Amino acid sequence: MPALEDEVAVVTGASRGLGRSMVERFSAEGARVTLTARDDDLMDQVAVDLPGESLVVPADVRDADAVERVIERTVERFGRIDTLVNNAGVSLLGLQDSRKRLVDVAESEWDTVLDINLKGTFLFTRATLPHMAERGRGNVINVSSGLGRRAIAGAGPYVSSKWGLEGLTRVTALEGEEDGVNANALDPGGRVDTDIWAHLPDEERAGILPPDVMDDAAVLLAAQGPDGVTGASMTAEGWEERLG
């Protein structure tokens, strides 16, 4: 039997990269999947090839009403939510192909990164937790980064958002534990061949991690029951070793 047979998962940032790969893998493992991102055309292209049932609900993760609509439509369609993957994220490097020291970061640039990477995770988590608590089970998977545990110059907004995400993951775990909800952070373990690194030369991109690097770990986390590991943060390889 597939690992996620008849499970229901919501994946943000589902139109490309890591999110698209996880959606495809979840569907292959038997899950019914809600795809959400801003580009509905790209999501439609992903959904049409999925082997299982899916739902496309466009939304900006910064918009609380749009987030609530994604969750409401998922519950209306599938009856519940078993797994939430907070994957949507941006960096100034991905947006501008360059790093910026703090003194050069515009307030609007700071707000864009923090709102998508951190506020969006909060909004989706807040909207989803009551549905999981009602059933006494669920898994929240927050896509983090090595820069959620260390820092580099020139990536202030991104580093701040991912450190915040790590803390939010632990709070979610503590608050969800009595309701059978696990919350964990998943880090690909290095640079991944996504839009963030589109500026790299082809030969350098060929040497970084593929977009499916987190798929095995994400499936293992999504398959956990109410007594699963919670409040932890590891690379994909680390999760595979712990749960595999």
CATH code assigned at 21: 3.40.50.720
Asked whether residue 133 is assigned to any structural domain, the reply reads: yes
* pLDDT for 197: 67
Does residue 3 fall inside a structural domain?
Answer: no
User: Can you read off the two tokens belonging to residue 58?
Assistant: 């466009």
- Distance from C-alpha of 153 to C-alpha of 83, rounded to nearest angstrom: 34
Task: Tell me what the mean pLDDT of segment 133-144 comes to.
Answer: 98
pLDDT tens, 197-206?
Answer: 666 677 777 7
What's the pLDDT at 204? 73
Residue 225 lies in a domain: yes
116 exposure class (CB count in 10 Å sphere: 0-12, 13-18, 19+): buried
Overall domain count for the chain: 1
What residues are labeled active site? 158
60 and 50 Cβ atoms separated by less than 8 Å = no
Query: What integer best gives the mean pLDDT of the chain?
Result: 94
Domain holding 66, by residue range, is: 8-243
Task: Give percent of the chain above pLDDT 90.
Answer: 86
User: For residue 212, is pLDDT > 90?
Assistant: yes
Do 100 and 68 form a contact (C-beta atoms < 8 A)? no
Q: Is 236 domain-assigned?
A: yes
Query: What pLDDT shows up at residue 200?
Result: 67
1 located within any domain: no
Say which amino acid occupies 107: E
Summarised one tens digit per residue, pLDDT across range 11-46 is: 999 999 999 999 999 999 999 999 999 999 999 999
Per-residue tokens: 26: 């979840």
Question: Residue 209 — pLDDT band, cuts 50, 70, 90?
Answer: confident
* Within-domain flag for 38: yes
Task: Give the residue among 99, 73, 78 at the shortest CA–CA distance from 159.
Answer: 99
Q: Could you tell me if residue 123 is inside a domain? A: yes
Give the pLDDT of residue 99.
87
Decide if 156 is inside a domain: yes
pLDDT of 229 reads 98
Backbone phi and psi for residue 175, each to the nearest 5 degrees, phi listed first:
-80, -25
